[in-house]
Amino acid sequence: MKRAPDDLLGAHVSTQGGVAEAPARGNAIGASAIQVFTKTPNQWRESMVRDADVAAFRAALAASGIRAVVSHDSYLINLASPDQPLRERSIAAFSGELVRCRTLGIPWVVSHPGNYIDDRAEGLARNARAYAQCLTAVAGEVGVLLEGTAGAGTALGSTFEELRALRDALPAGLQARVEFCLDTAHLHAAGYDVATALEEVWERFDREVGLTHLKCLHLNDSKGATGSHLDRHQWIGEGTIGPEPFRRIMRDPRLASVIKIIETPKGGDPVRHDRRMLRRLRAYARGPRNNARVPQTVGRA
Ligand SMILES: [Zn+2]
Ligand SMILES: [Zn+2]
């Protein structure tokens, strides 16, 4: 087997046919990290992970060049909801996700904070209580990465202050199991100027939360304008963020150990497009091969 790249770069890959299919899909696109759904993300139906699935997944992972796996929780889950039946259902589903990940040996579940619906402060408190309940119920080697959101509607977690507040509201003993994931498209939509002032964004995150708590990055360009709260992903370098911020991210030594996952459009051909995006990002990481070869500015006639 060709030696896998020693970065932690990859994509969200399909688990159709079972979670054990995912590592090979990661290999097919040249990934060294993958993100998966451990169940159908837009259905409440809970799936059980059988012993055979666990063994198959672990074997497939060991045989692959994949060095890091994260899961993403279901879109239906709203741990901040004022509606008690929905919140309870969400707690059950999120706990189920934590159990599946612990069983599979997936260390992190990327989770969108909930929608508060009625009152922001109440919603944040409900959200924190629910995370605490789930983490307490499922002890052990699995944690949560709170993902910064685009801030559409009543979505919590679109500011660094709110992400920190959510973690701070958890019992001290559980906080070590809660870290963070940032998505470049969400940051951009939420009003953080990643396109032209990326370093300031990192400085603000470092001040509010701490860069050492950043464990995962979702690398997506955006179709929406900054501050639009529109969560529309675009191919890397081809959207309103543009190539330069991604170049900087790929070369930033502070982010070298952060898992980097693309969630860019798959255009009906995930292998082709995901491969293309990962190649592009790795070219950014390498930088120009030879500065002398950078084309000279051509004088305007
Ligand atoms: Zn997400
Ligand atoms: Zn994301």
Residue type, 31: A
* pTM for this entry: 0.94
Which H, E and C letters describe the chain, residue by residue? Answer: CCCCCCCCEEEECCCCCCHHHHHHHHHHCCCCEEEECCCCCCCCCCCCCCHHHHHHHHHHHHHCCCCEEEEECCCCCCCCCCCHHHHHHHHHHHHHHHHHHHHHCCCEEEECCCECCCCHHHHHHHHHHHHHHHHHHCCCCCEEEEECCCCCCCECCCCHHHHHHHHHCCCHHHHCCEEEEEEHHHHHHHCCCCCCCHHHHHHHHHHHCCHHHEEEEEECEECCCCCCCCCCEECCCCCCCCHHHHHHHHHCHHHCCCEEEECCCCCCCHHHHHHHHHHHHHHHHHCCCCHHHCCCCCCCC
- CA–centroid distance, 127 to ligand 2, in Å, is 19
Q: At what angle do helices 84-104 and 51-63 cross, to 10 degrees?
A: 60
- CA–centroid distance, 62 to ligand 1, in Å, is 26
Q: What is the residue-level pLDDT of the chain in tens, covering all 301 positions? A: 455 578 999 999 999 999 999 999 999 999 999 999 999 888 999 888 899 999 999 999 999 999 999 999 999 999 999 999 999 999 999 999 999 999 999 999 999 999 999 999 999 999 999 999 999 999 999 999 999 999 999 999 999 999 999 999 999 999 999 999 999 999 999 999 999 999 999 999 999 999 999 999 999 999 999 999 999 999 999 999 999 999 999 999 999 999 999 999 999 999 999 999 999 999 999 987 655 444 444 444 4
- CA–centroid distance, 147 to ligand 1, in Å, is 6
CA atoms lying within 13 Å on the CB side of residue 126: 23
- CA–centroid distance, 172 to ligand 1, in Å, is 25
Token pair for 227: 């501050």
- CA–centroid distance, 72 to ligand 2, in Å, is 9
CA distance to 46, 113, 115, 211, per residue, from 84 (Å): 19, 17, 13, 35
Q: Which ligand is nearest to the CA of 110?
A: 1
- CA–centroid distance, 212 to ligand 1, in Å, is 20
Domains of the chain: 9-288 (3.20.20.150)
Question: 143-147 and 214-219 as β-strands: parallel, antiparallel, unpaired?
Answer: unpaired
- CA–centroid distance, 294 to ligand 2, in Å, is 33
- CA–centroid distance, 223 to ligand 2, in Å, is 14
Q: Which ligand is nearest to the CA of 263?
A: 2
Ligand 2 is a single-atom ion; what residues have CB below 5 A from it?
183, 218
